[in-house]
Each structure stands twice: as C-alpha cells, then as structure tokens.
C-alpha cells in the first residue's frame, strides 16, 4: 500500500502564495504517477496538476501559469507551489498517486488508486 500525507494548507490573501507538500511511503516513489486534486463544498472534485515518473506535467486551465507541481524523489515528496491565489482556489486539496498514468487521451483524468487525507486552502477576498 501507498500512504500519502499532505501538509502546508492554511489561509492566504488574494494574490498571496502557499506551498503544499505530500510525503509518500514506499520504496517505489520514482515510479509513481502523482497529482493534486481539489474539491470545494457543493462542487465536483477536479484535477489541478499532474506529474509523471519522467516529470511530464499538466495543469488545469484555471491554474496554469499560477501553480507549479514538482517532485523530489530523494525525499519521496510531492509539492504544489501556488502563486497569485484567488478566492476561487478555496478548496480541500488532496494529493494522489498511482502506478499508471493519471491523464489519458490528453485530457481525461483517471481516478487514482491512493489518496491523502487532504489539506484545506482558504483564500480571502
């Protein structure tokens, strides 16, 4: 099994920044396909950013140019750097992992096999 644990959530002002981290268990971290998802109350869960095992990245249009996903294989950690935050970014953020690609056909997001507990991000207007 793969255990994921997020940290770094909190409150920020509009145009502020936050960095989320996700520590992962297991000896196969370099092989993981990783992603960040988010869900706001009353809204559907959406994919935010994804990174492959050879560091190919993809972003939702709503965060492109503002968020950066990265990974440190030596630390078995996934990151999400969030800049220029907007109130619409307020949501519970989850890291996720799988051993297969998480985006197929260039646009379709698969449901990952492993999830963290989530960390709340709140952006004030």
Q: Which two tokens stand for residue 49?
A: 């950013």
Residues 6+ apart with CB under 8 A from 31: 53, 99
SS3 content of the chain, % helix, strand, coil (to 5): 5, 50, 40
The pLDDT value given to residue 35: 98
- Judge contact between 76 and 4, C-beta under 8 A: no
The pLDDT value given to residue 43: 96
Q: What is the pLDDT of residues 4-37, one digit of tens each?
A: 999 999 999 999 999 999 999 988 999 999 999 9
Q: What is the pLDDT of residues 80-112, one digit of tens each?
A: 999 999 999 999 999 999 999 999 887 889 999
The pLDDT value given to residue 1: 81
CA dist., res. 88 & res. 101, Å (int):
27
Cα 29 to Cα 46, 54, 57, 68, 117: the distances in Å are 23, 12, 16, 19, 18
If you average pLDDT over every residue of the chain, what do you get? 95
Q: Is the pLDDT of residue 55 over 90?
A: no
- Judge contact between 116 and 2, C-beta under 8 A: no
């Amino acid at each position: 099994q793969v255990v994921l644990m997020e940290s770094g959530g909190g409150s920020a002002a509009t145009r502020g920044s936050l960095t989320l981290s996700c520590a992962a268990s297991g000896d196969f971290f370099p092989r993981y396909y990783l992603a960040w998802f988010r869900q706001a109350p009353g809204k559907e869960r959406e994919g935010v950013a994804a990174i492959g095992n050879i560091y190919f990245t993809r972003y939702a249009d709503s965060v492109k140019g503002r968020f950066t996903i990265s990974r440190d294989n030596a630390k078995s950690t996934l990151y999400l750097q969030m800049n220029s935050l907007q109130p619409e970014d307020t949501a519970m953020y989850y890291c996720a992992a799988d051993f297969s690609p998480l985006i197929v056909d260039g646009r379709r997001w698969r449901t990952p096999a492993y999830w963290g507990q989530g960390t709340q991000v709140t952006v004030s207007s």
